[in-house]
Structure 1
Amino acid sequence: MLQDAIQVLDKIQEALAKIQSADKDRASIIRKAVTETRIYIGKIVRLGMNNRDYEHEANLSRLWSDAAQAYRKVNYSITQDCDKMSSFWADPNALESSSISRIIDFANTLLEEVHGLFPDL
């Protein structure tokens, strides 16, 4: 399941890399949140759930909150999804093996929305 989350986050990174230069600032904010989330999930895959870093999770919450703020006036759906991810990482009880599917679902939805916002990707 964690590997599936990483694969979807990779697809989001690829899509964001193609976003037109006019939206580079917003794209870079989401790209940072996606990258940091992918790195952290990779760490959990390697070291196991017993090696969680709650401070890192709090930082992920802040990054996703920043991403939501960047898209607040541009795309309401992306804003909502980024807010959901921020809330997810803010809850120390949220990350369990069974909750990884929530990350995958979120990432797939965000990928679709990014493609909808930039159909030429």
Structure 2
Amino acid sequence: MDTCIIIDLLKGKPKIKEVIETEIKLRNCVINDIVIMELLQGARNKSDLRFIQSQLNKFQALEINQMIMNLSKDIICEFTLSHNAKIQDAIIASFCIIYDVKLFTYNLKDFEYIHGIKFYWS
């Protein structure tokens, strides 16, 4: 799951909540340390930070390994000039490719040029 989806889920947005509860199931949602750090970085105050930390255990966090980092470097090398590829997006995309999971995101434009990635919504 991309950070934008988790943010909306934590905010209680009905559409996202319904999709996750009825179609995807929360137990099938995986995240990584990049998504966790983006969520934590978005905290506006200590209360936000505590809330985010308390919600993270609802998600299965998978490891970012060396294969993911190597693929991320390849994506940055190939797409930094043509598509302004961002490090965090390259890592999230590589994570999805290596673990063979679909990416659930609103931000298709940040990922659609990357070969091998599959989307939940496309």
Shared fold, TM over 0.5: no
Relative CO higher for 1 or 2, CA cutoff 8 Å, sep ≥ 6?
A: 1
Which is higher, the Rg of structure 1 or of structure 2?
Answer: 2
- Taking structure 2 as the reference length, what is the TM-score of the superposition? 0.30
State the TM-score, normalizing by the size of structure 1. 0.30
Structure that is richer in helix per residue: 1
